[in-house]
Amino acid sequence: MNAFAAPALPVLILHTGDPDDTLRDRHGDYAQMLRHAAGLGPDAVHIVRADAGERPLAPAAYRAVLITGSPAMVTDREPWSEQAADWLRQAAAARLPMFGVCYGHQLLAHALGGAVDYNPRGRELGTQNIECLAAAAGDPLMAGLPVSFPAQLLHAQTITRLPAGAVALARSALDDHQLVRLAPGIYSAQFHPEFGPEFMRDHLLRYQPDYAREGLDAGALAASLKPTPTAASLLRRFLNLRQHATAQH
């Protein structure tokens, strides 16, 4: 390696919220979960707390962006969220590679002209099956993946209309937009690649009475949780795609 080579640019993790204190103390915050799932060390990332009003640097300061989930709702149009959406539009115009998860998935779609609302088919929870769509066959992120795989789901809102030019790559029983290519190099997942069964179990049992009021059996969902290695691989696959593309130029 050239001793004088410029250091790699960091990956921005746009932090949009956290679990409650009990779950965060036990499992870490959402930015750290995303960092671990992406295989990134602490020095390889720049974590920006968008939900606390922090602002990222210019898009040129980063090699890629990961956007966390959040207990917030995109439809609330919080000032910090709209500010983050404006930055994401700038980053998309600069062709910065991005991957959004759950809230990040919805925020990217909103920023790029899509629509977000409560899923009319209902809330999705627990380990559920993700089915790849025809468009996945020609997508570099999806190369070699099985046609269906389990993933951890935890959401009430969803993308109800894709932005112009976006393509759905995978769906679930209740959501047609589980995995989306919003533009070349810009992806998002409604499911959670960064969540493992342990976090999901603790969440479901902690909020079991709330889910029961919606007619959902969180205890049964907790008992049926399982590992989701294919879903968990997507963040690393995404970053490897970007490294390979950079190496070719």
Dist. CA 202–CA 134, nearest whole Å? 35
Residue 110, both tokens: 């909103």
The mean pLDDT value for 41-61 works out to 97
For residue 7, name the pLDDT band (cuts at 50, 70, 90): low
Residue 41 contacts by C-beta under 8 Å, 6 or more apart in sequence? Answer: none
DSSP the chain: --TTPPPPPPEEEEE-----HHHHHHH--HHHHHHHHTT--GGGEEEEEGGGT-----GGG-SEEEE---SS-GGG--HHHHHHHHHHHHHHHTT--EEEETHHHHHHHHHTT-EEEE-TT--EEEEEEEEE-GGGGG-GGGTT--SEEEEEEEESEEEEEPPTT-EEEEE-SS-S-SEEEEETTEEEESSBTT--HHHHHHHHHHTHHHHHTTT--HHHHHHT----HHHHTHHHHHHHHHHHHHHT-
Give the pLDDT score at 241.
85
Inform me whether the pLDDT recorded for 2 exceeds 50.
no
Dist. CA 33–CA 31, nearest whole Å? 5
The mean pLDDT value for 164-193 works out to 97
pLDDT tens, residue by residue, 73-101: 999 999 999 999 999 999 999 999 999 99
The whole-model pTM stands at 0.93
Percentage above 70 pLDDT, the chain: 94
Percentage above 90 pLDDT, the chain: 92
pLDDT tens, residue by residue, 128-161: 999 999 999 989 999 989 999 999 999 999 999 9
Inform me whether the pLDDT recorded for 6 exceeds 60.
no
Residue 33, both tokens: 């979960």
Q: For tokens 């994401």, name the residue.
A: 88
Q: Are 231 and 151 in contact (CB under 8 A)?
A: yes
Q: In three state form, how does the secondary structure of 195-206 look?
A: CCHHHHHHHHHH
Q: For tokens 């606390």, name the residue.
A: 52
pLDDT tens, residue by residue, 21-48: 999 999 999 999 999 999 999 999 999 9
The mean pLDDT value for 102-109 works out to 98
Of 30, 11, 7, give the one whose Cα is nearest residue 20: 30
Give the pLDDT score at 242.
62
The residues annotated with a catalytic role in the active site are 102, 192, 194
For residue 203, name the pLDDT band (cuts at 50, 70, 90): very high
Give the pLDDT score at 1.
42
Residue 206, both tokens: 């902690």
